[in-house]
């Protein structure tokens, strides 16, 4: 038993020594694999996990929990599995190898859930490197509220490699929807995620950009139950209460009923307005509440005129 443990301990020491030598000898993690053969490094970027946290309409922000999977090839990290105990995967800390740089340039905040020192990369015998990064990120999104609460929003992750043009690093985006996990929240349904790529010039360099486009469909049940139906009932009861035949001398009830209804609708409209961006576009639900206010106002005026004619 003791001999068996000693054998595996020595084997691990040999493998560890081999991995350390592979990273220490003729390997500079500060330099891109581009400088090995002067070929652009093809970096594949995908999103296997995407969770919608919150949509803040008035701030035009969308919060996500997202996992990026990045794969690339670094020929300097090739190894023989026979010299690695037959293992076909090698795991080393993220900070020990070169990793491609990229930014989500339409984000204003991001926080990594796992620090680089605690995150590993996997390396295959042919030098294929795989890294996963999980982040909490706030994305700037142009939220259109004209059809709220029956609206659909389109928000994208705009990813680019800073400074390095296509000559050095070529980003490629792809999705594996069969295995990916995309989820919305209680307010929005994440109906689709797509990927597209764009080329542009910046300071005479050919740059490459990846768009991960998300489609968010609002769940309208909350607004229908809390705002639409109560507003309809308030307007209906106001019109009915004002226009029903009343006895002489009680015409003041029309003003009381009308003012109470308008106050309730005004409070409802202010609640909706607090969640919307300050734009010139009036959302559908805001137009609906304004229409209810106008109808109640006209009903009050008509009720007062009808009472006046009856009294005279």
Six-digit token pair at 161? Answer: 């490699």
Residue 249, CA distances (Å) to 240, 246, 303, 312 in order: 18, 9, 13, 12
Whole-number Cα distances in Å, 223 to 149, 228, 277, 294 = 7, 6, 17, 20
CB atoms within 10 A of CB 221: 11
Choose among 280, 305, 302, 244: nearest CA to 145: 280
Q: What is the DSSP letter of 83?
A: G
Rg from Cα positions in the chain:
31
Residue 238 pLDDT: 79
- Averaged pLDDT, 6-30: 53
Q: What pLDDT sits at residue 212?
A: 94
Instruction: Give the containing element (helix H, strand E) for 42.
Output: strand 41-56
Say if residue 1's pLDDT is above 90. no
Count other Cβ atoms within 10 Å, centred on residue 304: 16
Contacts with 134 (C-beta within 8 Å, 6 or more apart), sequence order: 49, 65, 66, 67, 68, 112, 113, 114
Is the pLDDT at 192 greater than 90? The verdict is: yes
Question: 288 or 311: which carries more pLDDT confidence?
Answer: 288
- Residue 236 to residue 238: CA distance in whole angstroms: 5
| Nearest by Cα to 84 from 152, 33, 13, 26 | 13
Question: How many whole angstroms separate alpha carbon 169 and alpha carbon 165?
Answer: 6
- Please write the tens of the pLDDT for every residue from 124-170: 999 899 999 999 999 999 888 888 889 999 999 999 887 777 888 88
The full set of domains in the chain, from first to last, is: 29-219 (2.70.170.10), 222-311 (no CATH)
Q: How far apart are CA 132 and CA 116, in angstroms?
A: 10
């Amino acid at each position: 038993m003791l001999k068996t443990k000693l054998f595996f301990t020595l084997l691990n020491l040999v493998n560890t020594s081999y991995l350390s030598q592979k990273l220490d000898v003729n390997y500079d993690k500060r330099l891109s694999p581009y400088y090995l053969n002067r070929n652009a490094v093809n970096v594949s970027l995908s999103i296997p996990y995407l969770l919608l946290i919150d949509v803040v309409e008035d701030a035009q922000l969308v919060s996500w929990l997202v996992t990026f999977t990045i794969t690339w090839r670094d020929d300097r990290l090739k190894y023989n599995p026979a010299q690695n105990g037959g293992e076909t995967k090698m795991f080393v800390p993220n900070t020990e190898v070169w990793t491609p740089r990229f930014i989500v340039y339409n984000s204003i905040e991001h926080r990594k859930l796992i620090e680089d020192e605690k995150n590993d990369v996997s390396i295959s015998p042919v030098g294929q490197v795989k890294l996963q990064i999980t982040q909490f990120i706030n994305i700037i999104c142009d939220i259109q509220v004209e059809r709220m609460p029956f609206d659909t929003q389109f928000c994208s992750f705009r990813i680019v490699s800073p400074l390095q043009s296509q000559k050095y690093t070529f980003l490629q985006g792809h999705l594996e929807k069969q295995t990916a996990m995309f989820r919305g929240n209680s307010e929005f349904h994440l109906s689709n995620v797509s990927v597209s790529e764009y080329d542009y010039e910046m300071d005479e360099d050919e740059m490459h950009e990846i768009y991960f486009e998300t489609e968010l469909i609002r769940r309208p049940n909350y607004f229908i139950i809390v705002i639409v139906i109560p507003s309809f009932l308030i307007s209906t009861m106001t019109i009915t209460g004002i226009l029903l035949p009343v006895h002489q001398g009680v015409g003041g009830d029309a003003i009381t009923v009308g003012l109470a209804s308008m106050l309730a609708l005004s409070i409802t409209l202010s609640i909706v307005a607090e969640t919307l961006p300050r734009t010139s576009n009036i959302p559908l639900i805001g137009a609906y509440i304004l229409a209810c206010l106008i109808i109640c106002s006209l009903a009050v005026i008509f009720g007062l005129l009808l009472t006046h004619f009856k009294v005279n």
